[in-house]
Structure 1
Amino acid sequence: MRWSDLDAYGHVNNARFLTLYEEARVALMFTAARAAGLESFENGIVISRHEIDYLRPIDYGDPVRIELWIEEIKASRLIVAYELFDGEELASRGRTVCVPYDLEAGRPRRVRDVEREFLSPYLG
């Protein structure tokens, strides 16, 4: 956590939760996928929806951990689910709907078989 992540009450700002979830999602869909030889997510994926439930505030300096999994894979979208822990206490839950996107054509595309195969072990 950075000092600039705090709100006027000294808690981590609600918008920062979304950034933390994004960093976890990018680690899976870009870093881990690339390590597995899959680069198609880097060529285009857009977010169509975020949901966050804030369960408790997080103070500056608290150790946080994010667990994420794939909640659902459909033909043209997938849902990433998250839980953010403050130490051992659940502080937030979130979900993101991701849509594979063809940047050149400027439109959504289908989830590819190789992407589904990569994400399947994370279904939970």
Structure 2
Amino acid sequence: MEKFKQQYPVIVDDIVRWGDMDAFGHVNNTVYFRYFEQARIGYFEQVQAMEYMQAHGIGPILAATSCRFKAPLKSPDTIQIGATISEFYEHKLIMKYAVWSNNLQRVVAEGEGVIVFVDYHKHKKMPVPANIVDKIKLLQPTLFTA
């Protein structure tokens, strides 16, 4: 768990709900994308991207996502979902996610998301706003060191 905390600057606590499971008795694959979404939004709240989007109409949108399942997750359980930016570009971010199971004491899924910044009024790609970049630098200073 210590390594998990070091890798992910934003960690969101959640529970595995009975309704998250499918007929096979484990969490359905689609639910992991909701878990990732919780961590992604948590990250964006930390860097005030959502506030910026409301004020200026420029914000993040998920362009692609993937998940690698490592162990079956079942209810009841409590989980931590981590988010970090692994790569930064002018117009997009690559975000990594992981789901930690407290019952299993291990990472049960890892994922990735490609996030693009867009002007929601003009429907066009935009550079990541400078004040959001500054907040990401504070949250993840090593991301920008060569």
With the length of structure 1 as denominator, give the TM-score of the two structures: 0.87
In structure 2, the CA distance between the partners of 1:38 and 1:24, relative to structure 1 (3 Å rule), is closer
Q: Secondary structure at the match of 2:100?
A: strand
Q: Which residue of 1 aligns with 2:9?
A: none
Residue in structure 1 matching 2:52, options 37, 40, 65: 40
Secondary structure at the aligned position of 1:39 is classed as: helix
Cα-to-partner distance string for 1:60-104 (whole Å, 9 max, x where unaligned)? 112211122111110000011111111221101111110011011
Question: What percentage of aligned pairs have identical amino acids?
Answer: 23
Alignment check: 8 A CA contact 2:21 2:27 kept:
yes
In the alignment, does 2:81 pair up with 1:66? yes
Match of 1:2 in 2: 17
* 1:104-119 → structure 2 map (5 Å cutoff): 104-119=121-136
Cα distance, 1:41 vs. partner?
A: 4.2
Aligned residues: 121
* Secondary structure at 2:30 match in 1: helix
TM-score (norm 2): 0.75
CA RMSD of aligned residues (A): 1.8
**Unpaired runs of at least 5, structure 1:** none
Unaligned 5+ runs, structure 2: 1-15
1:41–1:100 contact (8 Å) kept in structure 2: no
The answer to whether the Cα contact below 8 Å between 2:27 and 2:72 also exists between their aligned partners in 1 is yes
Distance 1:40 1:89, change over 3 A: same
